[in-house]
Chains A and B, each alone.
Chain A
């Protein structure tokens, strides 16, 4: 092989060019609807997102799943046309439309080429303002959700996520139940419940319409006024979610999957709310622990031990305290060994401050990757929707990179000490008990229980 002399030394980066998150303007219509317009004239495309405080957290007990059903059913018929006609009309304009609810908001979103924006937005407003929730379509949407829940019983990744929530949160917490509803709750949601939910929560006061892409501010605001100006009312503030834990001592929960070649592992506990003042230190902490490819947990489990294709950790950010979780899938016979390594890494990052060099792995990544996150109108719209949902300050994006760079190794150590709780970790494993039970018990980290694929305890 011939030496490539000019290649022996890694080049230095030049000075970075300035970047600002796209300029956006926020105005509030007389009816209380916030309108955010972010012009980005790169390609002839516009993305829209209507954000309503109508997520799963705002559901009343027994109606879990109504938020997602209501959002999806918007597209199933209006006073003027049925679901088939709606879908067909949007799509003949090339509009990609979606509606769904997460924990904190319902979002109706659309991307369309700029020349068809006015037509497509008028229909977008029609589905938001004039839905009729046809009985038959609701029944079908419910059946589709029940089919998803049935499929979950043989889908170990989704099953592990679901069981983790159940074993981590207080049984009375909304967070302990599936985001889009359980079999029992979905069955009990009828048309009257959907209409009531829609009538109470789909209101302009407190909602936000985001428009981004090839559009001017004045045109966006005028469009919003024309289409949504007559909408009235205000969404009542959602009550705070009970985000308490199921238990405060460590335990191991096995969910049976016979003959599984791998174990899906979830290890964690109740984390932090999105509004937490230590959001940025927690972000860096997570990046170093398991958020990045070069994080401690991934390098340990994948590159040192080859137990897995990948391992990562995350704080899931919600209005209430979402979970902190380490997720991986490992060959069945190393399940306990992998869990042990994860516990070691959580202990290690709480014991000693990270070096300056390690710290910058996460800070320089999050600082540098910032502009790459907002290349598309869809991603800009999502970011602005989050700004609205979590009531972030107007300068949130402009100060983001400085906030990242400000985090110190001591901040990370304090965050690890305060927000990671080794003695409260719940270890949830979807796998084959005949292979993994004895080694997990031998770890001696807490009582071990076995459950079926619906989460019912065995014995």
Chain B
């Protein structure tokens, strides 16, 4: 199973990947800008994401909210997302609407600023503050995805601060910031455009040239603050959070090899052995056999800069304290380090990863997004075709070596949530959870 890929680069630096598939009359357009929260300056946490919202507020020839309306009227789906080191924008439309989708993306890449107003910024600032309340502040365990990177990366590091941002910093964002961020990062030479699905190659190339060709190249972007971190944490970090939750939940994180490296495929298989599917270690031991956990999974963050993190995410059963929870999860981790995994466990993990990969590649939007990702991070979208083989090459010996190397006590970070108001079921948790740090 191989995805056909054609690439070219416009004179202004825009890298374009095209992948034809005529099964259904639909086409996906996907843009990755190589900028994320890591590029934010001090005092502007959350800005990259707020900026993403502003890209849906119109451009020189597109009215406020018209972007959404035009795509939906065309029968398309669309969205955007912001991550630590990239921001993407994407739509899937009926194939006869390809020109419209490309035109919309080109208009906002080329001429966003004429449409920016203080009122739009104020509105989106409040929308984003509500997004923060909804996804972080008013959700049990909602702060984990800003607390964990903060625990895993040192304070000055570009991955340390909150992606959604603080309310204070969001309040400070100005139209000047918008103009500067746009000029610096939203340039064709800092972007990848992918088109996947039902299109004519020559026609698509011509449309890209027509709409994007006239957008001027950028002036280069400032280097990120130093990204390098040691391979391991060098210690066992621990943070205990009292929160409005009913059950303790542990995020146990380990520094792991960079996304895309050979080690990353080994780490992904290790994570799947630990926490994907009913046959995983966590399901069999923590959920089914010992009945310690009500939910348990493990995954990698897939960071392509600095260092990746592998995370075990385990929620206690009622009646199980945070201390027991952590001890039991650690027991499983230590058991993998001492006894190793079997070839059958590797086979199971790789088979599941393979099915998930094929399943995802059915969708034009997913194909386009993967092409953009591999092009952005490694300059080579064809890597999408090597994923299955790279997982298949992983051996039990490699998994065991990585586990011994990176799952030790000198490379752990525990983020533990405990109920702020102990319920009858877990009255000991809050107190004992606090002392867990000292006992290690």
Contact = CB atoms under 8 A, between A and B. Distances in A.
A367 B211 CA distance: 27
Given A19-B24, A376-B363, A96 B76 contact: no
A399 interface: no
B352 A91 contact: yes
B348 A306 contact: no
Given A1-B111, A309-B131, A143 B76 contact: no
Residue from B133, B210, B354 having most chain A Cβ neighbours under 10 A: B133
Contacts of B128: 309
Contact of A4 (B111, B127, B291): B111
Interface residues of A, number: 88
Contacts of A366: 75
B24 A75 contact: no
B172 interface: no
Interface string B109-132: 011011000000011111111110
Nearest to A96: B355
Contact of B362 (A45, A151, A361): A45
B133 A329 contact: yes
Contacts of B247: 147, 150-151
Contact of B94 (A88, A153, A154, A371): A371
A4 B134 CA distance: 39
Nearest to A97: B278
A156 B138 CA distance: 7
A5 B61 CA distance: 11
Given A4-B106, A140-B291, A13 B130 contact: no
Contacts of A329: 130, 133-134, 138
Contacts of A93: 351
Interface stretch (A25-33, A235-243, A292-300): A292-300
Contact of B351 (A16, A92, A261, A365): A92
Nearest to B272: A91
A12 B76 CA distance: 15
B130 A147 contact: no
B130 A16 contact: no
Contacts of B245: 151, 154
A6 interface: yes
Contact of B138 (A19, A86, A262): A262
Given A87-B278, A303-B123, A113 B318 contact: no
A94 B351 contact: yes
A91 B94 CA distance: 36
A371 B26 CA distance: 7
B214 A6 contact: yes
Interface in B42-75: 60-61, 64-65, 68-70, 72-75
A207 interface: no
Contacts of A88: 278-279, 344, 348
B198 interface: yes
A375 interface: yes
Contact of B358 (A43, A292, A368, A370): A43
Contact of A143 (B140, B244, B291, B358): B291
A377 B103 contact: no
Contacts of A140: 287-288, 291
A369 interface: yes
Contact of B96 (A4, A16, A45, A360): A16
Nearest to B94: A368
A361 B69 contact: yes
Contacts of A96: 277, 352, 355-356, 359
A383 B364 CA distance: 19
A309 B127 contact: yes
B138 A260 contact: yes
Interface in A38-58: 40, 42-45
A364 interface: yes
Contact of A7 (B75, B92, B107): B107
B351 A75 contact: no
A15 interface: yes
A112 B25 contact: no
B247 to A, nearest CB: 6
Interface in A222-258: none
B95 A377 contact: no
A120 B294 CA distance: 27
Residue from A16, A137, A308, A309 having most chain B Cβ neighbours under 10 A: A309
A444 interface: no
Contact of B25 (A17, A45, A307, A376): A17
Given A13-B99, A308-B127, A375-B363, A6 B351 contact: no
A84 B279 CA distance: 6
Interface of A: 1-19, 40, 42-45, 75, 83-84, 86-88, 90-96, 111-113, 137, 140, 143-144, 146-148, 150-151, 153-157, 260-262, 264, 292-294, 299, 302-304, 306-309, 329-331, 360-361, 364-372, 374-378
Interface of B: 1, 21, 23-26, 60-61, 64-65, 68-70, 72-77, 92-97, 99-100, 103, 106-107, 110-111, 113-114, 122-131, 133-135, 137-140, 198, 210-211, 214-216, 244-247, 277-279, 283-284, 287-288, 291, 294, 315, 317-318, 344, 347-348, 351-352, 354-356, 358-359, 361-364, 423, 425
